[in-house]
Structure 1
């Protein structure tokens, strides 16, 4: 499919809409669309069966032939649009991206739609995580560990924030993700007989002594306040990573990774 036009004006309505989609969560929710940037992110979105509506590219960085080769296998070919170097620099976050930026359709992440594909799931639950960098790092860990699902309880933003897409290096597209209230998530875990292991400082056992070989949810909260009481009241067992220095906690994504890979180790024995 050939590009239908070249956009060289920063005042073009499509370019303005791209900038609004990137900057405004409200616009992403209203339109059901989001912006992704970079070849790796684009490839992972395709792997995650996302629908690409529009593909903008700068021919100084990537050729039209290359772009066409990436879209020939799609069931529904996106609209291809060339943009000038000036326009691309305006709409792109990073100068090092490969000249590709796309408008894609968001997916639903309702907890009621979550289907676990195994009888012995390992799930990560993150409550009220606000920082996009932390969410992105959690999603990268979940992808690396091939977790069955990531559940965001009481989400504070939308998953298609460009900073989450960027910090997750596209893993937001490859993980099975659901969102819901803390109450809904706890109910879901109990209905599926998934043990709840809360990272907490009180009434906790060393995470290496916990048995993660059965259906398990590893639950982490914010670095500032930890988990809400509702989680602690419904916990199968609180777990802790022993600290040998002066501080009593680590970055939430680091803590989650340590526990997740201990669970993976146990399951591989």
Structure 2
């Protein structure tokens, strides 16, 4: 039989609510919440350690839970919760009635171990909106690139809204964070070419040879890349605009450039 919690006022549930709401709690405990069967499955596949699963059995079957537990390499505590408890912790009522408490990973540059000598990397400088970060991670996953680096992060990557908007791709992508200076130093030490998406002193993105180790750098839609990046790029690149505007959503821009790089590498 599973342990059962029915009251949203339970002390453990209150702690998990704080974990959902507050970045400083996630950072101090090195844990975070995951919501949804697909997202939890991807976290397990991405070698995240799942400590506890909380289940509202009015929304999901025991068979599905047993299948999930079988896929994990470690023991996972299962707690049966009421629908009221689930509603307190969930951010989407449409998910399958399952949440998990997981350990966060080391996202430092020192943790990066490329599986290839010819990596393709996306670097996003100071992205702030969870939706944009999630979309960038989905793009990276779809393109099958080697890593995503977040320079000067403004948002905790284990924010529930990033997990939601990335549809779990946070767990399927190699990710590191650092300052702009740290990431530039890392790329140069590894002899990785730096291509910054910028409006000035730029060549069209498709004219670049991405078959060598390459990093695509994108900035915010409002301000673009900082001078520190622009002074350290191998080349600045631009996507030609045919209409009245001079910029696109950052994840769209990243997708266009990354898929061109992948196309070249597959020739």
Normalised TM-score (structure 1): 0.97
| Mapped pair 1:157 → 2:129 | no
Shift of 1:119: 1.1
Shift of 1:242: 0.7
In structure 1, the partner of 2:65 is 67
Aligned partners of 1:197, 1:69: CA distance in 2, in Å?
A: 44
How much is the aligned-residue C-alpha RMSD, in angstroms? 1.0
Asked if the contact 2:52/2:100 (under 8 Å) is kept, the reply is yes
Between 133-142 and 112-121, the greater mean CA deviation after superposition: 112-121
In structure 2, the partner of 1:254 is 252
In structure 1, the partner of 2:122 is 124
Q: Give the secondary-structure state (helix, strand or coil) at the position aligned to 1:68.
A: helix
1:5-20 aligned within 5 A: 5-20=3-18
Match of 1:238 among 226, 236, 239: 236
Q: Give the secondary-structure state (helix, strand or coil) at the position aligned to 1:202.
A: coil
Aligned partners of 2:68, 2:179: CA distance in 1, in Å?
A: 38
Asked if the contact 2:44/2:71 (under 8 Å) is kept, the reply is no
Q: Give the secondary-structure state (helix, strand or coil) at the position aligned to 2:105.
A: coil
Q: Give the secondary-structure state (helix, strand or coil) at the position aligned to 2:148.
A: strand
1:74-223 aligned within 5 A: 74-223=72-221
Give a deviation string over 1:117-163, Cα, whole Å, max 9, x none: 11111000001111110000000010111111101111112110001
Aligned partners of 2:83, 2:77: CA distance in 1, in Å?
A: 19
Unmatched segments (≥5 aa) in structure 1: none
Aligned partners of 2:102, 2:208: CA distance in 1, in Å?
A: 41
Aligned partners of 1:265, 1:203: CA distance in 2, in Å?
A: 25
Normalised TM-score (structure 2): 0.98
Aligned partners of 2:91, 2:256: CA distance in 1, in Å?
A: 31
In structure 1, the partner of 2:51 is 53
| Mapped pair 1:31 → 2:57 | no
Aligned partners of 1:74, 1:240: CA distance in 2, in Å?
A: 44
Unmatched segments (≥5 aa) in structure 2: none
Aligned partners of 1:198, 1:37: CA distance in 2, in Å?
A: 35
Match of 1:263 among 249, 261, 264: 261
Aligned partners of 2:60, 2:139: CA distance in 1, in Å?
A: 30
After TM superposition, what 4+ stretches of structure 1 lie above 3 angstroms from structure 2?
A: none
